[in-house]
Structure 1
Amino acid sequence: MGTASSSLASEDIAQLQQCTYFAFRVYNLSGNGFITKEELLEVLRLMAGHNLEEDELVAIVEQTFRDADLNRDSLIDFDEFSSAMVRSDSIRNMSITF
């Protein structure tokens, strides 16, 4: 039987996983399990399009794929997204705060 603190940590981990999965689904517009550059750009336009120029949005997409697309297949799957959320402040900042 675990302690209250280990139980809380498990709950925190579960909540983080749920939030990460939700954020992934926001960017995965097609629902096919992969985020494309086009999908990421479209979501960024919706979220920040009035505050950033198109070339700035494209630069964010390119940097995100350099950071997150570990196998360089021009797609970000959930594992890559999750890993990038842990590793990269810029990608973590693109997630929705709960």
Structure 2
Amino acid sequence: MGQTTSQIPEHELEHLSIESGLSRGGILKLYSRFISLATHRDKTTNEYFLTKGDFQSIAELKQNPLGDRIIDAFFADAEVLERRKVYFKDFVKVLSHFRPINKNKPHPWNSREAKLRFAFTMYDLNKSGTITKDEFQDILEMMIGANVPKEQVNSIADRTMREADRDGDGYITFQEFCNAMEKTDIEQKMSFRFLT
């Protein structure tokens, strides 16, 4: 695996804390985990980074039916996808989506819209900016397919498309996704307490 000791520059630690809402101690704990997973170092910047292969070596992700989708979420940002490297800042940004929202002290990486965008990318398998019935059905099958007959999964996907696809074009756009999630407490459903 990667290195176990390294330091985050003070200015970067402060910046990450402000943008993510994580405490300095929480960021340092994440950095320790990140460094233990990172098997690569950028020759130009000397920064550690993760590749898809590094994520695929994590046992918990191998066992999770959505493991590949979770890994893809770390590469959903166009810049990250293009460089095929997840640096520590990218790692923190993705994980910060799962922090509870503090409405009195908003953080750019952890707003309702940021959570919705992240959730949307989990369904948009081909990164087209829309969700098709097939994409939605594929995710449903990954999540519940072993416990629910295929016909029922198909029925759920059909009903969801009818309800969410307001203009009837066969695709759910991000705005339609937001409209469909309007009454969902995404702030709580996509939150868990860790490393505050």
TM-score normalized by structure 1? 0.76
Q: Which residue of 1 aligns with 2:106?
A: 11
Q: Which amino acid is 1:73 matched to?
A: D
Which has the larger Rg?
Answer: 2
Distance in 2 (CA, whole Å) between partners of 1:27 and 1:82 is 13
The two structures, once aligned, show a CA RMSD in angstroms of 2.5
Q: For structure 2, list consecutive stretches of 5 or more residues without a partner in the other structure.
A: 1-101, 192-196
Distance in 1 (CA, whole Å) between partners of 2:133 and 2:105 is 33
Q: Which residue of 2 aligns with 1:69?
A: 165
SS at match of 2:161: helix
121, 132, 156: which one pairs with 1:36? Answer: 132
TM-score normalized by structure 2? 0.40
Q: Which residue of 2 aligns with 1:97?
A: 190
Q: Which residue of 2 aligns with 1:24?
A: 120
Same amino acid, percent of matched pairs: 30
- Higher relative contact order by CA 8 Å / sep ≥ 6: 1 or 2? 1
Residues 52/80 of structure 1: CA separation in 2 closer, same or farther (3 Å cut): same
SS at match of 1:76: strand
Distance in 2 (CA, whole Å) between partners of 1:39 and 1:9 is 36
Q: Could you give the per-residue CA deviations for residues 33-85 of structure 1, whole angstroms, max 9, x where no partner exists? A: 01011100111111111111101111111110111000000000100000100
Q: For structure 1, list consecutive stretches of 5 or more residues without a partner in the other structure.
A: 1-6
Residues 97/8 of structure 1: CA separation in 2 closer, same or farther (3 Å cut): closer
* Residue-pair matches, total: 87
